Structure 1
Amino acid sequence: MTTLGTKLRKLRDGKKISQSEIANILGVSQSAYNKWEADQARPSSDNLLKISDFHGVEIKDLLEDNAGIVSNNIFKDSSISHHIFNYAQTVNMQSPELVDTILKNQKDISKLIELQSKLIETLLKK
């Protein structure tokens, strides 16, 4: 499986630029960018957008594994809704109802994660 970090390194190597140079272009620290390439952290949705724009690749291509499955970790970022909408358009999901359903499901997932966090906090306090 090709990880996001591996893809980022290959894209950067293809442009023959250093981690410091791309970090400056993206407006992040070199250490933050290094963690992305090492798969120790994931870029925010905004940074994923900057990366995809800079390299001229689709966000879905960054997030998909070799089997074409998009990582569930993208749902940890609550601002990903607009990226899901863009992804839906790139895979020819032209139905507005389908896009609305995807966005509603993403909001429901966010609510469940929030409730789960509150439950865990409550249990830890006992």
Structure 2
Amino acid sequence: MTTLGTKLRRLRDDKKMSQTEIANILGVSQSAYNKWEADQAKPSSDNLLKISDFHNVEIKDLLEDNVGIVSNNIFKDSSVSHHIFNYAQTVNMQSPELIENIVKNQEQIFKMIELQTQLIERLLKK
């Protein structure tokens, strides 16, 4: 599987640009951009939009083959997952499969909201 960081590195290499140059264009720090390429952090939806515009690629192409990359990292430590697991314990839902399905559904909802937000942002720019 090709990670988002690997794709960012390839796109940058294709343009023969440094991390600092790309970071300046995107309006982020070089260290933030470095973390994206190293898959230590993920760009926000706003930054994903800037990246897709700059490289003239679709956001889905950046995230394709990376199912859950953005949401998994967000939900791994998020309060949403924490509350789901606490609720499951409270009502004695001991099925790990059920809990896993609930978390996956929440991740899918998050993805849809994120894509909807990006679409709205693009429409507002026109």
Taking structure 1 as the reference length, the TM-score comes to 0.58
Identity %: 71
Alignment of 1:21-36 (within 5 A): 21-36=21-36
Bigger RCO (CA 8 Å, 6+ sep): 2
CA shift, 1:83, in A, is 1.9
Cα distance change, pair 72–21 in 1 and its aligned pair in 2 (3 A):
closer
Taking structure 2 as the reference length, the TM-score comes to 0.58
Unpaired runs of 5+ residues, structure 2, are 76-109, 120-126
Amino acid at match of 1:13: D
Aligned length: 84
Cα distance change, pair 72–12 in 1 and its aligned pair in 2 (3 A):
closer
CA RMSD of aligned residues (A): 2.6
Unpaired runs of 5+ residues, structure 1, are 88-126
Q: Deviations over 1:95-124 (max 9, x none)?
A: xxxxxxxxxxxxxxxxxxxxxxxxxxxxxx
Alignment of 1:1-126 (within 5 A): 1-65=1-65, 70-71=67-68, 73-74=70-71, 76=74, 81=113, 83-84=115-116
Q: Deviations over 1:59-86 (max 9, x none)?
A: 0000111xxx632534749697252476
Runs of 4+ in structure 1 off by over 6 angstroms are: 77-80
